[in-house]
Every structure is written in C-alpha cells, then in structure tokens.
Structure 1
C-alpha cells in the first residue's frame, strides 16, 4: 500500500522565481526538472529527504505552459499554493484498483507517465476531503534498482 508522501505539488506563476524562493529560504535545490507537454506544465522537483523504502520526498513546483492546462485553470481560479499531495506506492495499479473499490473515483483508467519516468494516477478531490490526491510509483534507478521521485 502507500509507503510515503512522495511529493506535495505547488502551483506557481513563475517557476524560476519560486525555485529561487525555496533555494534562498530553505536551502532546497532542484533535483530534477522537466516539461510535461501532456499535462501542460514546467516543473522542478526539490528533494527534501530520502525515505526508508528507498524513495524520497519532494516538493514539486508546477508552472503551466498554457492557460487551458489543469494547473493553468487551477491557478486562474485559486492563485498560487498547494495544488495536490502525492503518496508513493510500490504498485500504483493495484492501489488505484483497491481505492476505486472503496468508492473513490480514480481519474485515469490506466496510470500515466509522470515526472522522472514514474507511473501516476489521481483521485478525485471531492472523494478525498477536497484534496486532489496523486498515487505515484517511482521509476527504478539504473544504478541501484531502487525507486526515485515521482509525477506530473
């Protein structure tokens, strides 16, 4: 089942400015960055710590690349701030099916590719106390056969 908080997604208007805030205020450095065309976001993953299951916990900073993306629409409605929470799991398919069986709506029929080659799906916020929730199975790393970081 769920093993850790994989990341907390934070929506922002200016990724570079937001990265600099987290770097200068807390000392967090960018572990990974990418553009996810499917989700319409530019993102930076800031590693917070390693976890006992071989993974890590991150802050995921998200800047929309287009206004009609899910994060773009969310920012227009809510402004900057916490967008979602993501839980790490060894098997996103099995956990999504189990949670669906408990009556929670899973937003994707099949998990999609997320950050750093992970597999992801989302749970409907109306079924999760108003919190958009992501499930993440991290991609194995080549060097260690372990998992690393996650989403969008």
Structure 2
C-alpha cells in the first residue's frame, strides 16, 4: 500500500471568485493564491486555507459546456508518483492521467486516478503557483 497523505479537497464550481468569497464569509477560509489556469485539464483554480483544516482547491472549467459541479476530487501527496500508480493500479485503480506538470502546482508532477468510485489527484510536491503574500 502506498504511503499517501490527504493533501486537499477539489471542488468544481460555476463562479470561482464568488464561491471563494462565500467560503471566506461563511466558513472562515482565506484565498491564498491568485487564479491559475491549468491548460492541460482545462480549468482555472484557486486555493483556500483555514487553520486546522485541509486546504480547498476550487476549480472552474475554462470552456463552456455541460459540466458536473460539486466534489471533484480528493488529493493525496505522493512523492513517488510512478510507484504509487503501479501500486494503486494493482489494487484496482484506473489511471485517468499519467504524471505531468501541473500549472497550479508550479509545474510539479500530478496524476489522476479513479479509485473507490471517486476521482483522486496524486500530487508529487506542495508548491502552489500564484501564492498571495
């Protein structure tokens, strides 16, 4: 079993900044990055943090069309993506996207799998592009 740590929760929303403002006002989160476009996955996103809670990544599609909104993925820190994908694949997970640079993660590698009925993002590092000082 790979050594994974839950890193953040990804939520797909219709209006990125309005939803970020609502999470700030209603739940005490604070936006900690400027919006960043992830061209490989066709989304724009921001990170929110709150002391004592997991970070949230809000994303919105950059192209029009029918999209599913709500919980998008759980993200786990996986420093060795290749071996993690092999282990998860052997346990029944299906790779959705192989390791590739993620713009929201300052081009550190990310991968996606479908496991246990949900989308799972695997993140090799913890840097976020567009961090607000």
Q: Is the TM value for this pair above 0.5? A: yes
Structure 2 residue aligned with 1:40, among 32, 42, 51? 42
Contact 2:24–2:30 (8 Å) recurs in 1: yes
Q: Which residue of 2 aligns with 1:24?
A: 25
Calculate the aligned-residue CA RMSD, in Å. Answer: 2.3
Deviation at 1:64, TM superposition (A): 0.8
1:129 paired to 2:116: yes
Contact 1:42–1:63 (8 Å) recurs in 2: yes
1:89-142 deviation line (CA, Å, top 9, x unaligned) = 12112111211122321123x301222223111112xxx23211111111xxxx
Q: Can you give the 5+ residue segments of structure 1 that lack an aligned partner in the other structure?
A: 51-55, 139-146
Deviation at 1:15, TM superposition (A): 0.5
1:35-83 deviation line (CA, Å, top 9, x unaligned) = 1122111100112458xxxxx9420101111025xxxx432xxxx3111
Alignment TM-score, normalising by the size of structure 1: 0.71
Alignment TM-score, normalising by the size of structure 2: 0.80
Bigger fraction of residues in helix: 1
Q: Matched residue pairs, number?
A: 125
Secondary structure at 1:39 match in 2: coil
Closer, same or farther: CA 13–89 of 1 in aligned 2, 3 Å: same
Contact 1:121–1:134 (8 Å) recurs in 2: yes
Q: Which residue of 2 aligns with 1:111?
A: 99
Moved over 4 A (4+): none
Q: Can you give the 5+ residue segments of structure 2 that lack an aligned partner in the other structure?
A: none
Structure 2 residue aligned with 1:74, among 36, 60, 67? 67
Distance in 1 separating the partners of 2:128 and 2:92 = 28
